[in-house]
Amino acid sequence: MTTQQHSNGTLIDRNSKIEAETRTWVSDFVISLNLCPFAESVRDRSGIRVHCYNGTDLEQCLKVLASELLDLAEKDDFHTTLLVLAHSFSDFDEFLDLAAMADGLLEQLDLVGQIQIATFHPNYQFDGEPADDPANYTNRSPYPMLHLLRESAVAKAVAHYPDVESIPERNIEKLRELGKAGNLCSIAQKAASSDTDKTQKKS
């Protein structure tokens, strides 16, 4: 086996683990706690694309993001994309800078009104809230990630859901109650482990 083959194999294995952890977080945290009432049906229709960016270069990251935005806008193979930044933007302030650039990229690509971008980060902190507020877990994830959503799909989903405006406040109340009970951290940690990790721990 050549060094290049070994490197590619290692990268594939790493990406598979990152994708598994991300999908487990979606299922065991976001869906299990019903933080997003629309996520389960999208997952069950295999409508969630997970793309892992392994680099650390900002310019290259924006190129990958542009490609993913255009793919989501032009293709019907999937409904939403999670762009996982597993090896970059661990600093939350730097991540927020990236998020601002991502919104600018939407304008450059003339995708405003077609695609929207949500943000998730391991150290997510709402403006004006303390870092240990359990409400921050509504947007905390195993890795920094940009969630790309097709607006037509979002509009269709919310049209059939009563009182959409209450979802954020309801989620905050739920997570704060779990925080008070001391259960939130353990739930989040379990959800951040891939199915492979869980199997290995049981064996």
Query: Is residue 119 within 8 Å of 147, Cβ to Cβ?
Result: yes
Domain range enclosing 10: 3-196
pLDDT given for residue 2 in this prediction = 45
Query: Residue 111 corresponds to which amino acid?
Result: L
Measured CA to CA, the distance from residue 188 to residue 169 in angstroms comes to: 19
Q: Among 39, 27, 18, which residue's Cα sits nearest to residue 149?
A: 39
Extract the residue ranges of the chain whose pLDDT is less than 50.
1-6, 196, 198-203
Is 107 a member of any domain? yes
Q: Among 120, 81, 84, 118, which residue's Cα sits nearest to residue 194?
A: 84
Is 203 a member of any domain? no
Structure-token pair, residue 169:
């406040």
pLDDT given for residue 156 in this prediction = 83
How many structural domains comprise the chain? Answer: 1
Is 77 a member of any domain? yes
pLDDT given for residue 197 in this prediction = 53
Structure-token pair, residue 179:
């925080």
What's the pTM?
A: 0.86
Is 35 a member of any domain? yes
Is 201 a member of any domain? no
Is 14 a member of any domain? yes
DSSP 165: G
pLDDT given for residue 77 in this prediction = 81
